[in-house]
């Protein structure tokens, strides 16, 4: 399967100045020469036209680059056809490439081949997707850190240490009669465990930077939810009127707050209503609360708390939340003491309190940790899970040593820890996991 020559459109579909059709594999150059009217040059852009070899019809005016293996993204021969960025020329060129012997690439197959051919490891391959989907400069820096091998280097160093300890224990098992130079197993395992836990400690913040924080903005009608959303976005995204219940559906937008991407979900005011459309909006608001990583409860402090306010407070329950006590520019009437969450007084009208609200949102999302994104961080939930399983195995190994278990039992736990770490870099990965990871990529990457 991976010996086929593959082709795909590598630029977003739609109208644009330039579009790219990419081919990779042993037949990439012969296929390109069949449909390209011009002369290909190694690692240079060649001007010419794409033609239909059956009809000699000119399809588009193009620039074509040919890059021979192994110094390419996939370590295979690669051809990239730069054409005009409309859907029709891109599709026509792709279909010609497929007709001449290429196969349509699977999602992420170009990057998968880069991994299988040893150009990058699995953690670096996943960082490619993170770069494509990065929403803030901070998340982009983390993704580039991964692509440069930051996490891979730390994991490989840990595996090397554990492999040394495993080799020592295996030697004691295989050659009990021989003199094996003593090694402090407890110290080496303890040091590896400490380094492992240091990586795990960065994961929660790293995942926040990578994935963002889904934040539901909730409250009863006319408390200023949409106005607050517009303030946070610095643009008029939600319709704002003095009429209660203007928002009847959820409105979603991403905002960068101090490097952390927040997916803000402006919800319909949560009330009991007989209006069918309004009831559907309220139900979606309830689901938004259930799915949120963070709830931003907006209260109108110019009025006493209502039964609707109290119902929403009960709906939030023990979910992570922050209270925006809105309309602070007006006289305060609401009694908000005793709420189980931090309260920030804001005015969506004047912008007062907005900076403090943003700071509290970021602080809550990161768990109060002060994080510098230039430091090595674990930003992928899969990596975190693998590290935690490795940690569990190392703890069991240390417990086994302390309990005086035979070396055979200790090596079982050490091998399990090594396999978990190998899942991160791809040294001990199975095909099903590869398919799951690369299925998240776009077809042309």
Q: What is the pLDDT of residue 444?
A: 86
Name the band, by pLDDT with cuts 50, 70 and 90, for residue 178. low
Per the structure, the count of domains in the chain is 3
Report in angstroms the alpha-carbon separations of 418 from 71, 163, 331, 387, 393: 31, 8, 63, 10, 9
Q: What is the pLDDT of residue 383?
A: 97
Give the rounded percent of residues in the chain with a pLDDT score beyond 90.
Answer: 71
Same domain, 17 and 53: yes
Distance of CA 91 to the CA centre of its chain: 29
Name the band, by pLDDT with cuts 50, 70 and 90, for residue 13. confident
Q: Is the peptide bond before 70 cis (omega within 30 degrees of 0)?
A: yes
Same domain, 71 and 20: yes
Same domain, 302 and 345: yes
Res 404 pLDDT > 80: yes
Minimum mean pLDDT among 36-45, 267-276, 370-379: which range?
267-276
Name the band, by pLDDT with cuts 50, 70 and 90, for residue 166. very high
Same domain, 96 and 58: yes
Phi-psi region of 410 (alpha: psi -120 to 50; beta: other; left: phi over 0): alpha
Instruction: Kindly state the average pLDDT of the residues 228-257.
Output: 69
The CATH number that applies at residue 284 is 3.40.50.300
- Please indicate, yes or no, if residue 382 is contained in any of the structural domains: yes
Q: Of 120, 137, 171, which closes a domain?
A: 120
Same domain, 360 and 218: yes
- Please indicate, yes or no, if residue 434 is contained in any of the structural domains: no
- What residues make up the domain containing 283? 212-365
Res 299 pLDDT > 90: yes
Please spell the DSSP secondary structure of 408-436, one letter per residue: HHHHHHHHHHHHHHHHHHTTT--HHHHHH
Name the band, by pLDDT with cuts 50, 70 and 90, for residue 237. low
The CATH number that applies at residue 163 is 1.20.120.430
Same domain, 180 and 220: no
Residue 416 near residue 105, CB atoms below 8 Å = no
Report in angstroms the alpha-carbon separations of 409 from 86, 226, 387, 400, 401: 62, 60, 21, 7, 9
Same domain, 223 and 358: yes
Report in angstroms the alpha-carbon separations of 306 from 195, 311, 325, 336, 343: 52, 9, 14, 11, 18
- Please indicate, yes or no, if residue 52 is contained in any of the structural domains: yes
Q: What is the pLDDT of residue 372?
A: 57
Res 334 pLDDT > 80: no
The CATH number that applies at residue 103 is 3.30.1360.120
- Please indicate, yes or no, if residue 441 is contained in any of the structural domains: no
Q: What is the pLDDT of residue 244?
A: 44
Number of Cβ within 10 Å of residue 172's Cβ equals: 18
Res 371 pLDDT > 80: no
More confident residue, 226 or 80: 80
Res 36 pLDDT > 90: yes
Both tokens of 270, joined, read 């949560």
Residue 42 near residue 88, CB atoms below 8 Å = no
Secondary structure of 271-323 as H, E, C letters: CCCCCHHHHHHHHHHHHHHHHCCEEEEEEECCCCCCHHHHHHHHHHCCCCEEE
Average pLDDT of the chain is: 89
Q: What is the pLDDT of residue 172?
A: 87
Report in angstroms the alpha-carbon separations of 278 from 273, 308, 357: 7, 15, 29
Res 191 pLDDT > 50: yes
Both tokens of 73, joined, read 């993204």
Q: What is the pLDDT of residue 269?
A: 58
Res 240 pLDDT > 60: no
- Please indicate, yes or no, if residue 418 is contained in any of the structural domains: yes
- Please indicate, yes or no, if residue 82 is contained in any of the structural domains: yes
Q: What is the pLDDT of residue 430?
A: 86
Please spell the DSSP secondary structure of 70-81, one letter per residue: TSSSSSS-EEEE
More confident residue, 95 or 283: 95
- Please indicate, yes or no, if residue 445 is contained in any of the structural domains: no
Residue 169 near residue 397, CB atoms below 8 Å = no
User: What CA–CA distance (Å, rounded) separates 256 from 215?
Assistant: 13
User: What CA–CA distance (Å, rounded) separates 229 from 233?
Assistant: 6
Same domain, 266 and 359: yes
Same domain, 128 and 226: no
Instruction: Kindly state the average pLDDT of the residues 328-337.
Output: 84
Same domain, 138 and 97: no
The model's pLDDT over 70-94, given as tens digits with 9 standing for 90+, comes to: 999 999 999 999 999 999 999 999 9
Residue 384 near residue 207, CB atoms below 8 Å = yes
The model's pLDDT over 408-431, given as tens digits with 9 standing for 90+, comes to: 999 999 999 999 999 999 999 888
Q: Of 319, 341, 365, which closes a domain?
A: 365
Same domain, 217 and 361: yes
Nearest to 96 by CA among 65, 66, 68, 55: 55
Q: Of 296, 331, 365, which closes a domain?
A: 365
User: What CA–CA distance (Å, rounded) separates 413 from 405?
Assistant: 12
Q: What is the pLDDT of residue 181?
A: 78
The model's pLDDT over 377-402, given as tens digits with 9 standing for 90+, comes to: 999 999 999 999 999 999 999 999 99
Minimum mean pLDDT among 12-16, 175-179, 272-276: which range?
272-276
- Please indicate, yes or no, if residue 156 is contained in any of the structural domains: yes
Res 369 pLDDT > 80: no
Residues 6+ apart with CB under 8 A from 374: 141
b (16+ CB within 10 A) / e for 51-71: beeeeeeebbebbbbbbeeee
Residue 247 near residue 263, CB atoms below 8 Å = no
Over its C-alpha atoms, the chain yields an Rg (Å, rounded) of 28
Same domain, 74 and 167: no
Length of the chain counted residue by residue: 445
| pTM of full prediction above 0.85 | yes
Which phi and psi angles does 35 have, rounded to 5°? -110, -5
């Amino acid at each position: 399967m991976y010996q086929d020559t593959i082709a795909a459109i590598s630029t977003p579909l739609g109208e644009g100045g330039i579009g790219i059709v990419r081919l990779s594999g042993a037949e990439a150059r012969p296929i390109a020469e069949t449909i390209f009217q011009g002369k290909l040059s190694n690692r240079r852009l060649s001007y010419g036209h794409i033609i239909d070899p059956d009809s000699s019809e000119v399809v588009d005016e193009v620039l074509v680059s040919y890059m021979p293996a192994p110094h390419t993204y996939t370590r295979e021969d690669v051809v990239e056809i730069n054409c005009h960025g409309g859907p029709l020329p891109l599709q026509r060129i792709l279909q010609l490439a497929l007709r001449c012997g290429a196969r349509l690439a699977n999602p992420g197959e170009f990057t998968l081949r880069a991994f299988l051919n040893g150009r990058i490891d699995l953690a670096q391959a996943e960082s490619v997707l993170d770069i494509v989907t990065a929403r803030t400069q901070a998340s982009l820096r983390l993704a580039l850190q991964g692509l440069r091998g930051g996490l891979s280097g730390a994991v490989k160093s840990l595996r090397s240490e554990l492999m040394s300890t495993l080799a020592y224990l295996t030697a004691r098992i295989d050659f009990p009669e021989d003199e094996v130079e003593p090694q402090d197993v407890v110290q080496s395992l303890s040091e590896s465990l400490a380094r492992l836990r240091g990586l795990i400690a960065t994961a929660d913040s790293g995942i926040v930077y990578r994935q963002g924080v889904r934040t539901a903005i909730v409250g009863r009608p006319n408390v200023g939810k949409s106005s607050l959303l517009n303030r946070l976005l610095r643009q008029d995204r939600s319709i704002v009127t003095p009429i209660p219940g203007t928002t009847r559906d959820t409105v979603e937008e991403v905002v960068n707050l101090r490097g952390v991407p927040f997916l803000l979900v402006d919800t319909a005011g949560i009330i009991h209503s007989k209006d069918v459309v309004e009831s559907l909006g309220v139900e979606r608001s309830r689901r938004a609360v259930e799915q949120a990583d963070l709830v931003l409860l907006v209260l109108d402090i110019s009025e006493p708390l209502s039964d609707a306010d109290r119902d929403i407070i009960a709906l939030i329950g023990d979910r992570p939340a922050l209270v925006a006590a809105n309309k602070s520019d007006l006289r305060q009437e609401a009694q908000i003491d005793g709420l189980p969450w931090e309260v920030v007084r804001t005015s969506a009208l004047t912008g007062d309190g907005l900076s403090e609200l943003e700071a509290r949102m970021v602080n809550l999302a990161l768990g109060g940790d002060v994080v510098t994104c230039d430091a090595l961080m674990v930003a992928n939930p899969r990596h975190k899970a693998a590290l935690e399983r490795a940690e569990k195995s190392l703890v069991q190994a240390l417990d086994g040593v302390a309990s005086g278990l035979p070396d055979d039992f200790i090596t079982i736990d050490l091998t399990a820890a090594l396999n978990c770490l190998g899942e991160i870099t791809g040294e001990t990965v199975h095909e099903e996991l590869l398919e799951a990871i690369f299925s998240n990529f776009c077809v042309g990457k």
